Amino acid sequence: MNVSPVPSALASAVNALRVNGRKVDQAAADIARIGLPTDATDAPPVSGDATVPAVDLADAELRMLLAQRAFFAQLRTLRTVDAMMAETLRLSGD
């Protein structure tokens, strides 16, 4: 059986987009939680206070940037595969 690599490339690219999208979402959520009190008071968090989330801003931002770059790289792959499929269909006359 001759299996085309295009469907597997599409599935791989879509899966990578999902994974990296979740990583971007998680890193963004970590960044958004920094500095927000976890209780109902409006008091700003104090270092050592239990209301300060245990999130390193630099690490969260780096993870978000890396995940974003991976997401956009996979998106470019998906767009390239889509263009190749369209050209193949055009050339085959379908």
Per residue in 4-29, pLDDT (tens digit) is: 666 676 677 777 778 877 887 887 77
Largest CA distance in the chain: 68
Helix (H) or strand (E) holding 28: helix 5-33
Q: How confident is the model at residue 81 (pLDDT cuts 50, 70, 90)?
A: confident
Under 8 Å between Cβ of 64 and 33: no
Domain that holds residue 56: 5-92
Number of domains in the chain: 1
For 24-57, write each residue's pLDDT tens digit: 788 777 777 765 555 445 555 555 555 555 667 7
What pTM does this model have? 0.51
| Residue 45 backbone dihedrals phi, psi, to 5 degrees | -70, 145
b/e for 13-24, b at 16 or more Cβ within 10 A?
beebbeebbebb
